[in-house]
Amino acid sequence: MPSPTLTDVLNVVPSKIVAAAAKTPDPDRTRRVALAHNNPIRAWYCVAAFIALIALFRFLALAYRTIRPRSPKALRPRGAISFYRLPSALTNSFRALAFRTMVPIGSSYAINVTEVFLTAAYATLIYTWSLAHTTSLKGVKYDPKYFANMAGNVASAQLSLVAALGTKNNIISFLTGVSFEKLNYLHRMIARVLCVLIWVHAAGRLKLKLKAGSSLEHPWVRCGILASTSLTLLCILSIRPLRNRNYEVFLVIHFLAVFITLLAGFFHARGNLREYYIWPAFIIWGLDRAIRVVRIVIYNAGLFKKNSTQQLGRVDVLSPHFVRITVARPPLMHWAPGQSAYLTVPSASASPFEAHPFTISTIDVPQILPATNAEKDAESRNGSSSNLTFLVRVRSGFTKRLLDAATKEQSMKVILDGPYSSPPRLKGFQTVVLIAVLTKFALKGGSGVAFTLPLLLDSIHRAKINKSDSTRVIFIWAVRDARHVEWISDALLPAITDAPSNIHLDIRVNVTAPVADDQSWDDDTTEGDEEVKVEGGSAGAKAVKYPGITIEQGRPDLRRFVDDEIAQSSGAISFNVCGTPSLANSVRSALRSPRFLDVLRGGPTVTLHVESYGSDKVFRASHSDGKDPTGRALIQIADSGENSIILFPGANHSPLHEKTWASRGSDLAFPECSHLLLQNEIHLESTLYALENARNATTIYNPSPMPSSSQIKSFPWDRVDWLIVNEGEAEDLYNALSESHGRRGASPAVSRSHRELLSILSAQPAFATTNIICTLGKDGVLAFIPAFHRPRTAHEAPSFMHFPAATLQGTIRDTTGAGDCFAGYFVQGLMEFGPHARVGREIREHDVAKVLKTCVQVSFIEICLFVLGSFA
């Protein structure tokens, strides 16, 4: 009898055995589900722990400032190293390296080391928890069955963090003390990191095929694609150049894209029972809006009363470029000096939801001087807390509409929302430095002084009630016109007059526009604008002549000022800056040195707070009125490859367009710049105008084509920092300048070596401090830098830098563009060292050598485009 088979024993057929085996549980499934559930939580633990650590440091610092004695310690001069000051030295060094060392991102933007670290750390954290432990039990690394769902869960869980960082009323700002404006960088950065992670999730799902329960037939899958696409488009459109083109349009796009992303993401997550990752973002967003609505209702109660004038504001036109808004203070509103509020003006706003932030230039204390009946009429412009005052820069859009409305009616309804931002706490500093710059060339921003003025008023007030540690306050405001002081004189003059003796005030106003400028930027006769009379006249004149205010011509030398202030101080110093990124970078550069040993010896610790508006950009402006002919240039090329250019003047030799733009009310009359490159292909008057107005800028001049002998003799060579010439131009300059001093230049027949020519040219009084670079064609470049090469005694011979050019094979057909290429790369090389870097200090000899080597190489690459052959 045959033995029984497995089929007989189990009473099943083989096909049923196969079916039973197919239903065996996937051994990876339990592990995948656990990781997909736990890793998003672990990522949040890391983020929450970091926020808690920052909050702990902040509250410990606040507690220390609160309990320590108010009376400043006796200051001692710098002496031997004291390790008692080691914590201060370490803290000061950390601030210098982490917050003042900038890393360029492209050619128009830079972030500090802290932002770089946070970006890298967050991306590493998120991708680690999304891709860690993704090797299956079968040994498949980065198994999409693991990372696909895990990446989606981690990204979804982090959306509430993005929402929190993007709201104005958020708990992260409350805990860390970092204002929502500065958190906005993290808001954008995290959104972009998660956008990439979401596409990692999508790639994993595509790898596994969209079939069965995850096919495109299911609405929740299509919602996921919609959410991913919407977030991707938003990340692209939020790139700074696109965002700045029309910020008001971007706000509408941002709102719609975020709403689509969250709503579609919610339904997508709901398809996997993960909707609890998404709905907290809605709660955070809604809570922020609810808080703002409640605050608006409380602070603007007069809007809900019929015929009420409680919320009527006054808009005073200070100039065609500035207005001042004054609003009665809501009874329950309190703010810190330097905070801002969002304003909605129905008469000028394009929509009921359009609101713009402006700094409150008054302080939340009783009036600085006891008000008399005569003074009550001026309360709208002084430092009293009974009113809120805003200095508003007129640009396009809302501010332009506000100016137009103010010329017709000064009283209009104003809706307040605020206060916002986290201004610096100036308690505990022996010296407080406040720097503001009013520049005419910025994409956005205001006067700068709207931020620094309340800090000054608050410092004076706290000194009066004996609650200030500061013994010295320095207030610097750079303006285009001394009459701008009139805008703040009603608040500034009483404060200076009533300042107590226990605080020393140093008020400086730097006037950056030329004194002889026949058409001031704020001249009210601006073409195209209606005549607007500036109010008050006597107050401004009084402020300019007031003994407590020092009026100086020209831009402040901030680097020298910072160095001198640190050298003569031993207590803590707080630098507070408001202006363009160029100003902020200039101060950061001056404070970048860690000064570790100096602090150990008793030197001051330094903090820096920056309120920067606008962005670092390269601006290009073109103008044509249709009347000027287009110029022509004929380039004649010799057999040697050298060229001669004949110019037929056109629009580039027309009357000065800078003043034409200014007369039309444009802000592009002349850009505020750190480096100015000039060539002699424009009208000489334009070149001289640029040299006169480019205060504190590094100037580079290439006199090609060569000016006439009379123009050379009268040219302001002392304003040129770097002179770029070829050997022929150097000879012409020497001959012309020698004649102007009663000496005749050498005959053209006299042969000089390149070094001899550069030596006698650099000896001319006009070039006593000028750095001269002589391009020698195929012989390379020769440079004379006075800081490094000027002989110290009459017996020494001058030294030079010489960098030979590469040897070219083939015939040189054309050198056109080589000089322009050299000059462009040279300026770019100088800009690497900062906006106001000086030769012999920030720029060393080896730095110049490195830049020149690069310039020689790239200019000869330009020549190679016209050469038959290649480098040897």
Residue 538, both tokens: 């006597």
Q: Is the pLDDT of residue 625 over 70?
A: no
User: What pLDDT band is residue 375 in, cutting at 50, 70 and 90?
Assistant: very low
pLDDT on residue 867: 42
C-alpha–C-alpha distance, residues 420 and 492, integer Å: 24
Phi and psi (nearest 5°) for 851?
A: -65, -45
Mean pLDDT value across residues 45-57: 94
Q: Is the pLDDT of residue 1 over 60?
A: no
C-alpha–C-alpha distance, residues 167 and 291, integer Å: 11
Least confident among 388-392, 659-663, 784-788, 832-836: 659-663
Mean pLDDT value across residues 694-711: 82
Mean pLDDT value across residues 840-863: 78
Is the domain spanning 424-523+537-614 CATH 3.40.50.80? The answer is: yes
User: What pLDDT band is residue 46 in, cutting at 50, 70 and 90?
Assistant: very high
C-alpha–C-alpha distance, residues 260 and 282, integer Å: 12
Query: Of the CATH numbers 3.40.30.10, 3.40.1190.20, 3.40.50.970, 3.50.50.60, which one belongs to the domain with range 632-864?
Result: 3.40.1190.20
pLDDT on residue 669: 46
pLDDT on residue 155: 93
pLDDT on residue 117: 94
* Residues of the chain above pLDDT 90, percent: 20
Tokens 């602070």 sit on residue: 299
pLDDT on residue 868: 41
pLDDT on residue 229: 94
pLDDT on residue 664: 44
C-alpha–C-alpha distance, residues 713 and 716, integer Å: 9
pLDDT tens-digit map of 181-216? 889 999 999 999 999 999 999 998 888 887 766 778
C-alpha–C-alpha distance, residues 858 and 849, integer Å: 14
Q: Is the pLDDT of residue 383 over 60?
A: no
C-alpha–C-alpha distance, residues 356 and 156, integer Å: 31
Higher pLDDT residue, 662 or 387?
Answer: 387
Specify which of 38-42, 445-449, 590-594 reaches the highest per-range mean pLDDT.
38-42
pLDDT tens-digit map of 813-832? 555 566 778 888 888 888 88
Q: What angle do CA 724, 728, 729 make, to 5 degrees?
A: 40
3-class SS string, 112-181: EHHHHHHHHHHHHHHHHHHHCCCCCCCCCCCCHHHHHHHHHHHHHHHHHHHHHHHCCCCHHHHHHCCCHH
CATH class of 29-55+117-294: mainly alpha
Tokens 């106001």 sit on residue: 836
pLDDT on residue 75: 56
Higher pLDDT residue, 654 or 722?
Answer: 722
pLDDT on residue 198: 94
Mean pLDDT value across residues 135-141: 83
Residue 378 CB contacts under 8 Å (≥ 6 apart), including other chains: 490
Q: DSSP for 363-401? A: -SSS-SSPPPTTTGGGGGGSS-TTEEEEEEE--STHHHH
Mean pLDDT value across residues 285-310: 81
pLDDT on residue 528: 32
C-alpha–C-alpha distance, residues 637 and 660, integer Å: 37
Domain boundaries, the chain: 29-55+117-294, 307-368+378-419, 424-523+537-614, 632-864
User: What pLDDT band is residue 871 in, cutting at 50, 70 and 90?
Assistant: very low
Mean pLDDT value across residues 613-629: 44
Least confident among 282-286, 335-339, 603-607, 808-812: 808-812
Q: Is the pLDDT of residue 119 over 90?
A: yes
Mean pLDDT value across residues 719-744: 80
Mean pLDDT value across residues 767-778: 86
pLDDT on residue 115: 92
Side-chain-side CA neighbours of 713 within 13 Å: the count stands at 12
Nearest to 489 by CA among 415, 541, 528: 541
Q: Output the average pLDDT for the chain.
A: 78
pLDDT on residue 749: 42
Spell out the long-range contacts of 170-179 with Cβ–Cβ below 8 A and sequence spacing 24 or more: 170/284, 170/288, 172/51, 173/422, 175/51, 175/52, 175/54, 175/55, 175/58, 176/51, 176/54, 176/55, 176/58, 177/58, 177/422, 178/54, 178/422, 179/420, 179/421, 179/422
Phi and psi (nearest 5°) for 797?
A: -95, 145
Taking every pair of Cα atoms in the chain, the longest distance, rounded to a whole number of angstroms, is 137
pLDDT on residue 258: 93
Residue 483, both tokens: 């009459």
Mean pLDDT value across residues 846-860: 82
pLDDT on residue 618: 37
What's the one-letter identity of residue 88?
A: S
pLDDT tens-digit map of 459-502? 999 998 888 888 899 999 988 777 788 888 888 888 888 888 88
Q: Is the pLDDT of residue 667 over 80?
A: no
User: What pLDDT band is residue 71 in, cutting at 50, 70 and 90?
Assistant: low
Which CATH superfamily hosts domain 307-368+378-419?
Answer: Translation factors (2.40.30.10)
Mean pLDDT value across residues 696-706: 84
pLDDT on residue 650: 61
